[in-house]
C-alpha cells in the first residue's frame, strides 16, 4: 500500500514537474516569440525609418536637382541677356564713337572750308581800307572787318573744341615768366576795359617764382577768355585778376588764380550750364552781349588738361568769380629768350621775288595784291607739280605754299623741293584742320606757318623775318 502510495506520489511529482517544465517551456517560447516580435518590430521600425530617410533624401536631392536645373536655366537666360545687353552697349558705344568722329570731322571740315571765303572777306576788306575810302564807306568797311574777325574767332573756337575732344591737344613744357605774361594780357585788353569804363586791376603775389615751367599758350587762352568775359559783362565796375602763391615745395609751385568782376552776374540755375557749348546763361544775354558761347567751354576743358578744376561763384547784379589752382615746376636756371618783334621794316620787302602756290583764284588775287602793295614781285602757280619745277629752275627769296592743293599737296611738294633746295624759306599757308598742327607741317621742311584767314600785320611780319 505504501509502495503504491509512494508510486502515486512519485507520479504526481513527475506530472507537476512535467507541468512546470511545459509551463516553463511555454513561457520560454512565449518570451522567445515576444523577443522575436520585438526584434521584428525594431527591424520594421528601423526599416521604416530608413525608408522615410531614404525618401526624404531622395526628395531633397530631387528638389536640389530641380533647383540647380532651374538656376542653370535662369543663369543661362541671364548670361544670354547680359550678352545681348553687352552687344547692345558695344553697338551703342561704336555708334557714339562714330557719331562723335563724324561730328568732329564735320565741324573740322566746316571750319576749314569757312576759312577760304573768310580769307577773301578779311583780305578784300583790308585792301579797301588801305585805298583811302570815303568817310561814308569807312563805317561799312569797319563793320565788315568786325564781322569777319568775329566769324574767324567763332571758327577758331570750334576747331579748338574739336581738337580738345579728339585728344589732338599737346601740352608744351617751357619756361616762362608768369608775371610778365599776365601784365601783357592786361595791356592787350585795356582798350576793352576803357570802352566799358571799367577799373581793370592786376594783383600778383610777389612770392610767385619769376620763372615757372608749363604751357603759356594754353594758359593765355584761359586768361584771355575769362578776362574778356569779365570785361564784356561789366560796365562802370571793376575787374580784378588775382595770382597768389598757394604752396611751394620740392621745386613745385601751386598757384591760385581768381578773376573777379562786379558785372551782371549769373543766375543760380545757370551756374552749371554756362560751361556747356554755345551757352551764355540766357537768350537775352546772348542777344545783348553777343559772343560765340564757346569761351567757357574751352576754358573748362583747358584747365582740366592743365591739371586743375575751375570753380564759379556768382550773384546776379553783384558779379562773378572764376577761380582755379594749377601746379607748375619752378625753373631755377631760366634761359632768357628775347621775343621776336612784331614790327618790320617795309623796305626789306621791296623788290623781293616770292613764289605763291595757291589754287583758289580769289586767294591768289588777294595775296598777290597784298604782296605787290609792299613792292614784292609775286609769281603764282596753282598746283604742286609745277611748283616743284619752278623752284628747281628759278631763285626766289621766299615760297608761300598752300597746304591743300590738287594733285601733289603742299607738304609733299615741300618735301620734294627740300631734296634740291634747303635754303629758300618755305612758309605754309593753311586753313588749318583738325589733323594739322604747326609741328606736323614744319616736319616736312617748312620754316613757318601762316593761318588763313590771313592777318595782314602777322603776314608781313613773318615774311619780313625770313626775307
Would you state the pLDDT for residue 298?
Answer: 86
Model confidence at 182, pLDDT cuts 50, 70, 90, reads very high
Residue 270 is classified by DSSP as G
The ranges of the chain annotated as CATH 3.40.50.2300 are 346-466
Taking domain 97-165, whether its CATH number is 1.10.287 is answered by yes
Average confidence (pLDDT) over 34-58: 75
Given this model, what pLDDT does residue 341 score? Answer: 46
The pLDDT value recorded for residue 73 is 87
SS3 199: strand
Average pLDDT of every residue of the chain? 82
Q: pLDDT tens-digit profile of 62-82?
A: 888 888 888 888 888 888 888
Is 178-330 in CATH node 3.30.565.10?
yes
Note the CATH architecture for domain 346-466.
3-Layer(aba) Sandwich (3.40)
pLDDT for residue 135: 80
What angle, 0 to 180 degrees and rounded to 10, lies between the N-to-C axes of helices 178-188 and 216-232?
40
DSSP-assigned letters across all residues of 241-270:
EEEEEEEEETTEEEEEEEEEE-SS---GGG
**Does residue 464 have a cis peptide bond before it, meaning omega lies within 30 degrees of 0?**
no
How does DSSP classify residue 454?
P
With 80 as the cut, is the pLDDT of residue 455 above it?
yes
Q: Give residue-wise pLDDT tens across range 375-410.
A: 999 999 999 899 999 999 999 999 999 988 888 889
Q: Are 118 and 454 in contact (CB under 8 A)?
A: no
* Residue-level pLDDT at 139: 80
More confident residue, 240 or 286: 240
CB atoms within 10 A of CB 451: 19
Best CA proximity match to 437, nearest among 90, 166, 38, 235 = 166
Summarised one tens digit per residue, pLDDT across range 121-149 is 888 888 888 888 888 788 888 878 877 87
- pTM metric for this prediction: 0.63
Torsion sign across C-alpha atoms 456, 461, 462, 466: positive
What is the C-alpha separation between 170 and 375, in angstroms, rounded? 39
**CATH 1.10.287 in the chain, residues?**
97-165
Picking from 202-216, 263-277, 332-346, 415-429, which range would have the lowest pLDDT averaged per residue? Answer: 332-346
Rounded Cα distance between 147 and 357, Å, is 28
Amino acid at each position: 500500500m505504501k509502495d503504491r502510495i509512494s508510486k502515486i506520489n512519485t507520479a504526481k511529482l513527475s506530472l507537476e514537474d512535467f507541468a512546470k517544465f511545459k509551463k516553463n517551456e511555454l513561457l520560454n517560447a512565449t518570451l522567445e516569440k515576444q523577443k522575436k516580435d520585438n526584434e521584428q518590430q525594431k527591424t520594421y521600425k528601423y526599416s521604416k525609418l530608413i525608408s522615410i530617410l531614404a525618401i526624404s533624401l531622395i526628395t531633397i536631392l530631387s528638389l536640389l536637382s530641380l533647383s540647380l536645373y532651374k538656376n542653370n536655366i535662369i543663369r543661362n537666360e541671364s548670361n544670354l541677356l547680359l550678352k545681348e545687353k553687352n552687344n547692345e552697349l558695344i553697338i551703342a558705344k561704336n555708334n557714339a564713337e562714330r557719331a562723335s568722329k563724324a561730328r568732329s570731322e564735320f565741324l573740322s571740315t566746316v571750319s576749314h572750308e569757312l576759312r577760304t571765303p573768310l580769307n577773301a572777306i578779311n583780305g578784300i576788306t583790308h585792301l579797301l581800307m588801305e585805298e583811302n575810302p570815303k568817310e561814308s564807306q569807312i563805317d561799312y568797311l569797319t563793320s565788315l572787318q568786325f564781322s569777319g574777325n568775329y566769324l574767324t574767332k567763332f571758327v577758331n573756337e570750334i576747331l579748338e573744341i574739336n581738337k580738345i575732344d579728339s585728344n589732338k591737344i599737346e601740352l608744351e613744357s617751357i619756361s616762362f615768366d608768369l608775371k610778365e605774361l599776365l601784365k601783357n594780357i592786361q595791356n592787350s585788353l585795356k582798350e576793352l576795359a576803357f570802352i566799358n569804363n571799367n577799373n581793370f586791376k592786376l594783383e600778383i603775389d610777389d612770392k610767385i617764382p619769376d620763372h615757372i615751367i608749363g604751357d603759356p599758350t594754353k594758359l593765355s587762352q584761359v586768361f584771355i577768355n575769362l578776362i574778356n568775359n569779365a570785361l564784356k559783362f561789366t560796365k562802370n565796375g571793376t575787374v580784378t585778376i588775382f595770382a597768389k602763391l598757394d604752396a611751394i615745395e620740392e621745386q613745385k609751385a601751386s598757384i591760385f588764380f581768381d578773376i573777379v568782376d562786379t558785372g551782371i552776374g549769373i543766375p543760380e540755375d545757370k551756374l552749371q550750364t554756362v560751361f556747356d557749348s554755345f551757352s551764355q546763361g540766357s537768350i537775352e544775354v546772348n542777344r545783348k552781349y553777343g559772343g560765340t558761347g564757346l569761351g567757357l567751354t574751352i576754358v573748362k576743358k583747358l584747365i582740366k588738361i592743365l591739371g586743375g578744376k575751375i570753380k564759379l561763384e556768382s550773384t546776379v547784379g553783384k558779379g562773378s568769380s572764376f577761380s582755379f589752382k594749377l601746379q607748375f615746376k619752378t625753373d631755377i636756371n631760366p634761359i632768357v629768350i628775347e621775343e621776336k618783334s612784331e614790327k618790320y621794316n617795309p623796305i626789306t620787302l621791296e623788290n623781293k621775288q616770292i613764289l605763291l602756290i595757291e589754287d583758289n583764284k580769289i586767294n591768289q588775287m588777294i595775296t598777290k595784291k597784298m604782296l605787290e602793295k609792299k613792292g614784292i614781285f609775286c609769281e603764282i602757280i596753282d598746283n604742286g607739280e609745277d611748283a616743284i619745277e619752278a623752284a628747281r629752275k628759278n631763285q626766289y627769296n621766299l615760297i608761300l605754299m598752300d597746304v591743300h592743293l590738287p594733285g601733289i599737296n603742299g607738304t609733299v611738294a615741300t618735301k620734294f623741293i627740300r631734296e634740291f633746295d634747303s635754303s629758300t624759306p618755305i612758309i605754309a599757308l593753311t586753313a588749318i584742320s583738325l589733323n594739322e598742327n604747326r609741328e606736323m607741317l614744319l616736319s616736312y621742311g617748312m620754316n613757318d606757318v601762316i593761318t588763313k584767314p590771313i592777318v595782314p600785320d602777322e603776314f608781313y611780319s613773318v615774311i619780313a623775318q625770313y626775307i
